Amino acid sequence: MSNKQKQESENIEALQRLMQTWILKMTTAAGSGHPTSSLSALHAMSVLFFGRAQDGSAFFHYDSAAPACTKNDRLIFSKGHASPLYYALWAAAGVVHQEELMTFRQFDSVLEGHPTRRFPLTEVPTGSLGQGLSTGIGEALALRACGSAARTFVLLGDSEMAEGQVWEAMAVATYYKLDTVIAIVDVNRLGQRGETMLGHNIEAYKRRAEAFGWHAIVIDGHDNDTLVHAYTEALQVRGRPVMIIARTRKGYGVSFLEDKDGWHGKVLNEEMLTRALEEIGPVDTSVRGEIALPDATCTESDIGTHDGIYSNLTSPYAVGESVAPRVAYGDALAAMCEVYRTVVALDAETSNSTKAEKVKEKTPQQFYEMFIAEQNMVSVAVGMARRGLRPFVSSFAAFLTRATDQIRMAQYAGVDVVFVGSHCGVSIGPDGASQMGLEDLALFGALRESTILYPADAVSTYALTACARACKGITYVRTTREALPVIYDKDEVFTVGGSKVVRQTERDVALVVAAGITVHEALRAADNLAQKGINITVLDCYSIRPLDTETVRALAQRTERVIVVEDHHENGGLGSAVCRALAGSAISIEHLCVRKPPRSGRSAQLLTYEEIDAEAITYVVENGIVER
């Protein structure tokens, strides 16, 4: 070992001792946290950050002054509860002041209990286990799309290896030959309530990783030299992702914590802290490490810089033509992908039904098959969006609810992602209840902020798909399976937060508010009633969130009677939105929705069975009551 290498080794060891003390002190000061889970992964992460190969090359390259640069390597702590280690690493790099570490978990601190984007170097919020590898894969795919060779490192805990999403992610990483993805599994044996499924059987982890097509490296996670060799080997692998399986001990470095059960999520009191610091021994509080900069000059940029400007996104459909809204979605998305290289389609092996396959036909490099693994698909989209892509994520509306937790976490990532659910409601017909999206509006409406669009025909679907691209945050577009008559001229303008009055007279006795397929049922009811001399207003509330509250209120006041009809369960959909808009008024509101357990049958049969068809609307208008 040369003098320089010896000095580097001694510097890392000094950093590791310093970080051990920081982790213990900051968690004791906070009164909560996960010090033992942080100590087990400390060696692996510090060698990644500050270690060097035999030839002097670095393993991790990052310019903290330009975090969005596509040349930067990426680090994701899927094991988000090890945040004390995460923040200590940046403090050791001189990015965070060591005094700031003592604000850990305080209300005004950006050093939150699990990493969030309030800390500016955090890639994605983590803490809900099993999602980090998927987001890392999304970032790696996005970096590849812009020609970057930057690597993505993901730290996983051994407990979260029981999550199915981890293996979904591993399968798709192999499929896309993502050799820029390097996962580090901290196998410390102990979970929250005892030993993990495999304990310290690291050979079992190795066999499983290799079975999924990964290059697996098994090491002692506390041996710095072994870690250096592992990272050196990992960076040389081509054609497949790498998993470094590190055998570690929870609470490493403190005798009364090390490999001891019952310490997960617990911190030391002051007396124990003193004992632990004495064991660690004297530390040099001035020592710092250096993260290598990327080889190329780093500037703040993303792959959206060279996007074109699309000024002619006009639908090709004619009034009276019969076109399924899902088909219009596919047409619109394919048209956008031809101009915007940042727009990408992710689909869960349903693209021939969602019609996202049209992207694969025209711009295959912008289509990503995620197979039947919706949880992984959503988190991959989050990672893509973090690196500048504009993902459109499509599947059956019912199956998107499988990824509820992933969608929930996406809202905290501060990313722009469009979700598109086809085959919604009972109107899909004979496939039956398992395929019917009847909770999807409630799911997306429950997010703190979201946009929900539910077009009624092909023209509006085409236009609103284009609108969705410009929306911030999480957007949901609900598309109908059935072919429906085109009711809007191709030049009609649709805006987020808007609505369309599609039938109105001066003598209307009720306002019928509908969206999607029930707009057509409401129009049929209006025709039926008109033959009897009864007139109604029909409002297409294609923007459910934000709702066109002003128009709803104004039209409701004209008739003082509102009937909401939707192909969705009672709670969380259009009816809930209209009730909120009219809260406090004396206006009568009746709600036609899916109340009975659905079954197989023709679309028309099911709409009649659930009493959300034209005949049901006609009856309610005429009789002023809803039969239960």
Please identify every residue annotated as catalytic. Answer: 374
Complete edge-to-edge strand list for the sheet that includes strand 500-503: 500-503, 535-540, 508-514, 561-569, 588-594
Structure tokens at 607: 């709409």
CA 146 vs CA 82, 149, 178, 413, 537: distances in Å: 31, 9, 14, 21, 50
DSSP codes of every residue in 455-489: -SSHHHHHHHHHHHHH--SEEEEE--SS-EE--S-
335, containing H or E segment: helix 325-339
How far is CA 40 from its chain centroid?
28
**CA 464/CA 593 separation, integer angstroms:** 24
**CA 387/CA 138 separation, integer angstroms:** 8
20 φ/ψ angles, rounded to the nearest 5 degrees: -60, -45
Q: Which residues contact 420 (CB under 8 A, 6 or more apart)?
A: 329, 354, 356, 392, 393, 394, 395, 465, 476, 477, 478, 479
Q: Which residues contact 472 (CB under 8 A, 6 or more apart)?
A: 416
**CA 134/CA 379 separation, integer angstroms:** 5
Burial of 176 (0-12, 13-18, 19+ CB in 10 A): middle
Which of 521, 511, 446 lies closest to 480, judged by CA? 521
**CA 307/CA 301 separation, integer angstroms:** 13
Amino acid (one-letter) located at 76: I
Structure tokens at 624: 């002023």
Q: Is-contact 72 62, C-beta < 8 A?
A: yes
496 φ/ψ angles, rounded to the nearest 5 degrees: -65, 130
Q: Is-contact 241 267, C-beta < 8 A?
A: no
CA angle 41, 164, 342 (to 5 degrees): 85
Would you call the peptide bond into 546 cis, given omega within 30 degrees of 0 as the criterion?
A: yes
**CA 511/CA 153 separation, integer angstroms:** 56
**CA 561/CA 346 separation, integer angstroms:** 43
Q: Is-contact 628 464, C-beta < 8 A?
A: no
**CA 556/CA 585 separation, integer angstroms:** 10
Which of 124, 144, 143, 122 lies closest to 133, judged by CA? 124
Residue carrying structure tokens 């692998």: 237
